[in-house]
Each structure stands twice: as C-alpha cells, then as structure tokens.
Structure 1
C-alpha cells in the first residue's frame, strides 16, 4: 500500500501530468476484482467491533468482550504474514477458498457460542481460527493491479487508490457493524461479516484472469529474505501498533461512553465522525504528490496524531468528543499512507507483500491489545478511562519513532523489480 507520495524531485515535478483515479478505474477488467475485493476486505474492519458489541451484550462486561476480540486480533496478526507467503507460493485461489470457508464457519460458531452464554474459554477457542483465517485481500488486490498494469504510469495511481480504499474500509466496516449490532441485533454484525467474507472472498478468488501466476514463484531460485530483517520495517511495526491502539481504544470507549449517557445509538454517529475524518484525509493524501520526504511527514503527522489522541480522555460531552474524534481520524490516514509509502523505499520488491501484511497485522495486534486494556479500564475505573489507551499507545510509538527515525532512511543496496505476488526478479546488487 503506497500513496502517490515521493521524495524524488523528478517525480514530484510531474504531479500535474500524473494519471488520475478516473483513468485508473477505466482499466479494463479492474472492477471484476475491485468490487468483490472491497467486500472481502470488510472483515478486518468489522470483526473487532462486532465481537466487542456482541460479547458485551451477552456478558455485560467490556473486559470479557475486549479479551475475546483480542484473541481474534492476535491470531490475525500472527497468521497474516504466513497467508501472504502461501499466496506467493501456491496462488491466491488456493489460499482464499479454504480460508473464507474456515472463517465463515468459525465466525458463525463464535456467534452461536456467545448467544448461548458459553464460558469465556470457549469463545477464545472459536476466536483463534476466526482471526487466523481473515483473508488478506488488500495485498492480493495490489498484486492484481501489478498484473493488469505491468509498468504502466498508472501503477503509482493504483498504489494511491489502494491506500484510499483501505481508509474507506476503516470507515464502512465499523459503521456497518455498529449500526447492525445496535439497530438490528447484537449478533447481526458478526453474521454479516461472515456473509461478506464468504461471498466477497469466493467471487474475488473466482477472477482467474487477474490472478498473478505462481509459476515463477514456484520455480525461482531466488533467496527470499524476510521483510522483518529490514530495520525500518520493525520501526514501522511499532508505529502501526500505536495506530491500532487508536482503533481499538476508540471502539470500546465510544461504546461505553454512549451507553453511560443512555444513548447507545450515538455510538455509530461518533464513530462515523471519527471514520469520516480518516476517509477524507485519506482521499486528500492519496491524491497529492508530496514534495516533503515521507520520513519527515511521518514524524510530523504522528506527532499530531499523538497530540489529538491525548485529549480524548478529558472529553465529557458528545460535541467535544465528536470534534476530537474527527481530528484524530484526520491524523490517522496520513500516518498510515506515509508508512506504507516508506515500505516502497525500504523493502525490496520481492518482500513487500510480506511487509504489507506485517504492518496490517501490527494494526490488528495493536487493536487487540487496546480493546483488552480499554475494556478493563472501562470496567474497573471511570467512564472514559479507556480513552487513555490511544493516548498511551500513540505516545509510546512516537517516542520509538523519534529515537529510531534514522532507520527509516533507505539504504542503497540490492534492488528488486516486482510484477506482483509470485513475480520476483533481482536486477542489481551494488
């Protein structure tokens, strides 16, 4: 996932001539994988909040709800990179078909157990395969763009479009899940999430013409170094953990806040305001050809995010919380997009899919930890104490980012040209 951002002067100066979103979306066959891909992406954004709202409803405890959601998030984070590697080796269809079936069955099992008031350990057992089998559709869509475009100037625009799509997913998923759980039934969020995974995942996997070939991956004799060996990737993982703490802390704390004032329906409105800021700034960032280096943008943007998140715990009215939520949301998208942009500069092409899944997993892991801690704080301390989690998470990540910022500078060394998942060709080693 990368925006149109670049710190190379020759590219910055050509911003006006860069192909736009409209031209990209007119690419023949693009909609055949974009539409099902968007549906299949929703589990990442819907899953945590759906579990929190359902388990809290059946147990009356935000601590239990956060713990169940955390098990799912940790499983997702741990298995995401392996899912990407399996797709590289065996093909997307081979991973998606069994994956979406396992996710659907385990998600529905978790729903039934929660409604039956099963013990917490039973929810944990069902949560593990539910999180582990979340389809990693985002990196797969990026690989398909590589197949369709192959060296076209539209590749830069496609990278920006995928960043915006990810931001939109964070808007639509939680909003849809919250609306279903509060207005229809507490279980409706998880049921819909499972249905979208099944339908979207199978339709996406069925698009054979845009799937990257696995022939080269299966027979290439190129040593594949893990993306984790790149120091900058490890710094970005910590950074994205902080972003995940914002998502998790906001989801639990907004639900607790609106319930405490007797207006649970406002949860969707407040989270929608937060998500709208995220989406709008994501669209803007993805459309701009930046002249400022991404390392500097990440530092400035993340400092703004930490500052905005630090005020959430002190908000005691709906209007103030909505305003701060909007501001926090507007700060998240630039940090996410810039982080993914840095992957393009730091990681050889043959390891970028894995790097993207590590960052996606870091968000899931941060979110999982946040819902657990925020749930315990809401249960044991005052209403709104869960908002301390986004503050702590972003401040700790900012401190790490400042201390290790030199590791975000790209080093000249090996270069690799990638044409999507399964297509790796080393071309030069200095």
Structure 2
C-alpha cells in the first residue's frame, strides 16, 4: 500500500511540468481580482456613503454582471482563444474599476455607481477556468490531470486567503480606495502577463456545424444542479464579507475584519490541501453532499456568536467545510461535461459563486444596517439551506449517464493524489 501512495502522482511532480510556471505565476496574480473586488467595493462605498446597504447593492450589480457575462467569456475563449478575450477584457476592467473608484470618491449618486459597476463585473478576467483549460491541454492523457484538478482547487482557496485580507488591510490601513486600486493594478499586470503566454493556451475549438453541434454546458442537468450549489457557496462568501466588516465596526476594531476573514479563508485553503492529499474511498458526489451538509450546519450558528474568539473558531470551521464542497463540484464537472464545453462549465460555476455573493452582500448589507451584524450572518444560513435541499433532492442528476462518461480530453474524473 505504501508503494502505491509513493508512486501516485503528486503536487511536486505536477509543478515540474515543463512550462507550467509560465502560466501559473501570472495566473495567480491575475485571479486575485475575483477575491478582492467585492470586499474592495463594499469597503470603499461604505466609507463614502456610510451605508452597508448601498455598498452591498453596488457590489451586487458587479456580481450579477460578472455572473451573466462570465459564461460568455468562456465561450469566446473556447472559440477564439484566451489571448483574444483577455487583452481587451483586462483593459476594459481596469478602466471600469478606475471609473467606479473615482465616482465613489466624488460622492456621485448611487445610480452612477450602479452604471460603473456593470462593466466592472462583466470584464473580470476568468483566469481560473482558463488555467484549468491550459492544464487539460498540456497534460492530456496523463495521470497528472487529476493532480492538476486538486492543485487548482487549492490555488482558488489560497486566493481567498490573500485577496480579501490584502484588500481589507489596504482599505483600512492606507485609504478606502487602495483595495480597488491594487485590484486594478494586479489585473493589468497579471492579466497581460498571462495573456502573453500564448504557447500554453489551448487550441482554438472549431466552430459548431451540423456534423459537430456545440454542446452548451448549461444544457447538462448536473451542471445546473451544481450551479445552485455554488450559488449557496457564494452566499457564504458574500455574507461573511459584509457581516464580518459590520461586526468589526460594532466592536470598535475595524482591523479585526481582515484577521477574521483571513482565518475563515485559511480554513478553506487548508481543507483544500487535505482534500488533494487524502485517498478518498467515497465518490465526489457523496463528498459534495456531506461537505455541504457540514457547511450548512456550521453556518447555522454564525448569527448567535458575539465574541471575536468564538467567531474566529466558527469561521475557521465554515472555511474547512467549503473546500470539500467546491472540490467535489469541480471534480463532477470534469466527468459530466465534454472537453469542448468545459471552460464554459467552469465559468458558469464561477458566475454562480459571484451571483450568490452579489445577492448575499445586498441582503446582508441591508440587514446589517437595520439590525446589526448578527442579522447579516443569517444570509449564509439561508443560502446554504436552500442549496442543500436542492442538492439532496436532485443528486441523481450528478451521475454521468450510462456510457456517457467523458474521457476523451480535459481533466478527467479525479482519483486520490498524494502531496509530494
């Protein structure tokens, strides 16, 4: 048994793949905006308007816009290539964030912030799905594909450790606009650097024809079920961001927000590392349902906690439960969706997280304004309960149809991997 584990492909072997670092490093920089954008908007708009409700509404416009446009970005990347989508997208995003920041600092009316928020969200670079697609193209037919799937999930979790903490520290310690300025700077540097790595981008997919019709990822029932599950996860991210900010203000220690959210995100990352290291005997569908049940249970107690120490511990537990659900969902996508629509599928899930986050920051912001931080923490509970009920009721749709398992290309169904 020991020799089996030893011979199993691990993270170290994956990272020695020739050319991998040419897209991993710029990809890490360029995917920070997704983790920094919402909290940066909330902190800036709350600072200029004094209202968490207004801040949440502006962030919600950004999130909804991203959720609607992200899948279209994935389709375009599959059709025309990642570089062709990223170059104009990065420039539009930087300009939009700059306009939103300037309007907020000028105390512009709320409707003007809403207008600027739309292109800001629509142009967020979809780096995570693009990196996954590059791994699939580079490692096609290799056992390392499953290791790449686990590694990308860990990287996503690490992004949510670094991004919100960095944005919060800049907004509270330097200037309320510093978080968004840093977000735009990272988008420009990382996005252009990532787009320049044209040798590792996947080959452009031929246009659909009568002989080879395009299969939309959203036409697959399992993808729709996963999208609902990821909406619930987005409600946790959004609800935690706003409610932790409000809680830190209530206790007179705004800087505690970064610490508390960092602990929550660190639990997320640590669980992600463990999920890639454990030799699972259960399938990804079972892990998704169990992880989601644990997430719902942990989120159910957030509203009742009023001490920093207890909230930090409970936040850590919530974070630990998110990673198994996310990784289980992404793994199922790889077995349910054909390679020609996989980038689109990943962007649907990314968009679902953004949409859930947008709804959560709006509702949690208004609840925090009216009734305090404890009321805002009800949002993650409601979001996860509704998603869990859907997940359990429709879990049969998460199994590939008989004879329909996709094995031709892309990251296949993930098998257990070891940490090298």
TM-superposed deviation, 1:17:
2.3
Match for residue 4 of structure 1? none
- Unpaired segments ≥5 residues, structure 1: 1-12, 422-430
TM-score (norm 1): 0.92
Q: Deviations over 1:181-224 (max 9, x none)?
A: 1111110000000010011000000012111222x424875211
Match for residue 217 of structure 1? 206
Native 8 Å contact 2:78 2:340 kept in 1:
no
Native 8 Å contact 1:212 1:420 kept in 2:
no
Partner SS for 1:109: helix
Match for residue 105 of structure 2? 115
Q: What are the within-5 Å matches in structure 2 for residues 84-123 of structure 1? A: 84-123=74-113
TM-superposed deviation, 1:84:
0.5
Match for residue 402 of structure 2? 412
Cα root mean square deviation, aligned: 1.6
Match for residue 386 of structure 2? 396
**Structure 2 counterpart of 1:249, from 229, 239, 256:** 239
Match for residue 375 of structure 2? 385
Confirm or deny that 1:162 pairs with 2:157. Answer: no
Native 8 Å contact 1:80 1:361 kept in 2:
yes
TM-superposed deviation, 1:339:
0.7
Q: Deviations over 1:296-326 (max 9, x none)?
A: 1111111110000000000011011001000
TM-superposed deviation, 1:401:
1.1
**Structure 2 counterpart of 1:290, from 273, 276, 280:** 280
2: CA distance, partners of 1:321 / 1:416? 43
Partner SS for 2:176: coil
Q: What are the within-5 Å matches in structure 2 for residues 50-61 of structure 1? A: 50-61=40-51
Q: What are the within-5 Å matches in structure 2 for residues 284-323 of structure 1? A: 284-323=274-313
Confirm or deny that 1:370 pairs with 2:353. Answer: no
Change (3 A) 1:235 1:147: closer
Match for residue 270 of structure 1? 260
Native 8 Å contact 2:335 2:405 kept in 1:
no
Change (3 A) 1:182 1:302: same
Native 8 Å contact 1:144 1:420 kept in 2:
no
Native 8 Å contact 1:350 1:417 kept in 2:
no
TM-superposed deviation, 1:147:
2.9
Q: Deviations over 1:96-122 (max 9, x none)?
A: 000000000000110000000000100
Confirm or deny that 1:325 pairs with 2:325. Answer: no
2: CA distance, partners of 1:344 / 1:33? 21
TM-superposed deviation, 1:16:
4.3
TM-superposed deviation, 1:272:
0.7
Q: Deviations over 1:378-428 (max 9, x none)?
A: 11123321000001000111111111111112212445555459xxxxxxx
Change (3 A) 1:219 1:246: closer
Native 8 Å contact 2:244 2:373 kept in 1:
no
Confirm or deny that 1:33 pairs with 2:23. Answer: yes
Q: Deviations over 1:63-109 (max 9, x none)?
A: 00000000000000000000000001111110000000000000011
**Structure 2 counterpart of 1:357, from 347, 366, 377:** 347
Q: What are the within-5 Å matches in structure 2 for residues 180-195 of structure 1? A: 180-195=170-185
Partner SS for 1:217: coil
**Structure 2 counterpart of 1:235, from 219, 225, 233:** 225
TM-score (norm 2): 0.94
